[in-house]
């Protein structure tokens, strides 16, 4: 049975290797790729999930950064605020 697993992914129109199979078309010549070269719905979902996780992680980092900045600001504020000494 030939399932074409060892063929590698090449664009049938220009013969270049297809790196990003998330796109339905060749990056080089814009030719639509045959269904066999396109990702299955399942593969696409797996990749989407991965990208989602990366994005979430990045957003968490950003949130933490923002929190740290706010904490810093607050600390600076309390430091500069002093009750008048008697």
Place of tokens 């060892």: 6
Asked if 28 is part of the footprint of Zn ion (rule: CB under 5 A), the reply reads yes
Instruction: Give 12 or 68: the residue with its C-beta nearer to Zn ion.
Output: 12
Rule CB under 5 A: say whether 52 interacts with Zn ion.
Answer: no
Distance, CA of 81 to chain centre = 44
In this structure, what DSSP letter does residue 17 have? B
CB of 33 to Zn ion, least distance (A): 8
User: Does 25 engage in binding with Zn ion (CB under 5 A)?
Assistant: no
Hey, is 60 helix, strand or coil? helix
CB of 8 to Zn ion, least distance (A): 14
């Amino acid at each position: 049975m030939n399932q074409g697993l060892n063929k590698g992914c090449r664009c049938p129109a220009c013969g270049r290797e297809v790196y990003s199979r998330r796109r339905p078309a060749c990056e080089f010549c814009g030719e639509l790729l045959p269904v066999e070269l396109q990702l299955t719905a399942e593969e696409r979902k797996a990749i989407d999930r991965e990208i989602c996780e990366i994005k979430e992680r990045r957003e968490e980092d950003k949130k933490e950064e923002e929190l740290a900045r706010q904490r810093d600001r607050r600390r600076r504020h309390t430091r500069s605020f002093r009750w008048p000494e008697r």
